[in-house]
Amino acid sequence: MGLHRAQPRIYVALDSAKPQRVRELIGELDPALCGIKIGKEAFTALGPAAVEWARERGFPVFLDLKFHDIPNTVRQACRTAADLGVSLVNVHASGGRRMLEAAREAIEPGPDAPGLIAVTVLTSMEDADLAEVGVTDGTATQVERLAGLVVGAGLDGVVCSAHEAGAMSRRFSEDGLIVTPGVRPAGSARDDQRRVMTPAEAQAAGATSLVIGRPITGAESPGQALAEIVASL
Ligand code: C5P
């Protein structure tokens, strides 16, 4: 018996606030090949309808809202997310042990439960940024410290860069979810991503699901771009 719903190998990030664009992409992609990631931009503009459109077409949905609040609020938010029928939910590990435990209580492990994962340190933060918020021992140490809390609270995995995937996957059981953005097929634009890996490299490094946005959503044919990435795995 699994501890959470089965996960797709790829979640396509639909980072748009335009309903037409979101619907178009949902229509062009193949639910047999990927899930859909709905983040703060799309969810703020479109609400649960965006989740519903993707689910209607048969896509697993990653609701990427990175909850970070007092334990009771995060508990209720996680419960509400699970009620939307999504397959993956996330929170910020820096919300602390009690917040992580509240999230876990809201989403009890089971084959129909969404995966529950945490962000450790945002990859946009460097040592100097952490020092400004009072964390002076560096990103690497902070990632390890927060990963310990995530494992301790019984969450299913983490969102992390492909460069951290190996170290992170050793902390979880074989059911662990290591979800990595910053993935770029060979030859495609890096956009604002810095330390990228190809989909195959990220998977070999320990990623269990890849989050890919612009290389697919910005392609002339998103369906074809997705199929090519799947073929490269
Ligand atoms: O278009 P691109 O492939 O860069 O999109 C990656 C997605 O993953 C975006 O939704 C971005 O917000 C998200 N993400 C990221 N890096 C992180 C965490 C999330 O790029 N560290």
Closest CA to 162 of 130, 121, 202: 202
Of 144 and 2, the one with more pLDDT: 144
The rounded distance, in Å, linking the Cα atoms of 38 and 51 is: 7
The rounded distance, in Å, linking the Cα atoms of 76 and 74 is: 5
Q: What is the pLDDT of residue 220?
A: 97
Q: Name the token pair of 193.
A: 């991503």
Predicted confidence band of residue 159 (pLDDT cuts 50, 70, 90): very high
- pLDDT higher than threshold 80 for residue 2: no
Helices 97-106 and 71-83 cross at an angle (nearest 10°) of: 30
Please give the average per-residue pLDDT across 14-39, as a whole number. 97
- The residue nearest atom 8 of ligand 1, judged by CA position, is 181
Rounded to 5 degrees, φ, ψ at 139 are -65, -40
Q: What is the pLDDT of residue 196?
A: 86
Query: pLDDT by residue (tens digit) across 39-84?
Result: 999 999 999 999 999 999 999 999 999 999 999 999 999 999 999 9
Q: Does residue 213's CB lie within 6 angstroms of at least one atom of ligand 1?
A: yes
- Which residue is catalytic, options 18, 37, 40, 66? 66
The rounded distance, in Å, linking the Cα atoms of 181 and 209 is: 9
Of 12 and 187, the one with more pLDDT: 12
Q: What is the pLDDT of residue 194?
A: 77
- The residue nearest atom 2 of ligand 1, judged by CA position, is 213
- pLDDT higher than threshold 60 for residue 1: no
Site to probe by mutation for ligand 1, drawn from 122, 211, 217, 226 as the one with most ligand atoms within 8 Å of Cβ, is: 211
Instruction: Name residue 117's beta-bridge partners.
Output: 90, 157
In the chain, the domains with their CATH numbers are: 10-232 (3.20.20.70)
Distance from residue 180's CA to the centre of ligand 1 (Å): 9
Query: pLDDT by residue (tens digit) across 78-136?
Result: 999 999 999 999 999 999 999 999 999 999 999 999 999 999 999 888 999 999 999 99
Which ligand 1 atom lies nearest to the CA of residue 212?
Answer: 3
Q: Which residues contact 50 (CB under 8 A, 6 or more apart)?
A: 14, 19, 22, 38, 42, 43
- The residue nearest atom 18 of ligand 1, judged by CA position, is 181
Q: Name the token pair of 190.
A: 């890096």
Q: Does residue 15's CB lie within 6 angstroms of at least one atom of ligand 1?
A: yes
Instruction: Name residue 221's beta-bridge partners.
Output: none
Please give the average per-residue pLDDT across 154-183, as a whole number. 95
Share of the chain above pLDDT 70, in %: 100
Is 40 an active-site residue? no
Q: Does residue 14's CB lie within 6 angstroms of at least one atom of ligand 1?
A: no
Q: What is the pLDDT of residue 92?
A: 98
Q: Does residue 182's CB lie within 6 angstroms of at least one atom of ligand 1?
A: yes
Q: Does residue 39's CB lie within 6 angstroms of at least one atom of ligand 1?
A: yes
Please give the average per-residue pLDDT across 190-202, as a whole number. 89
Can you give the pTM of this predicted structure? 0.96
Q: Where are the alpha helices (DSSP H) in the chain?
A: 19-28, 40-46, 48-56, 71-83, 97-106, 127-132, 139-152, 162-169, 199-205, 214-217, 222-232
Q: Tell me the average pLDDT of the chain.
A: 96
DSSP 54-97: HHHTT--EEEEEEE-S-HHHHHHHHHHHHHTT-SEEEEEGGG-H
Q: What is the pLDDT of residue 123?
A: 85
Q: What is the pLDDT of residue 192?
A: 84
Q: Name the token pair of 3.
A: 């501890």
Which ligand 1 atom lies nearest to the CA of residue 184?
Answer: 3
Distance from residue 12's CA to the centre of ligand 1 (Å): 10
Predicted confidence band of residue 172 (pLDDT cuts 50, 70, 90): very high
Cβ(36)–Cβ(12) below 8 Å? yes
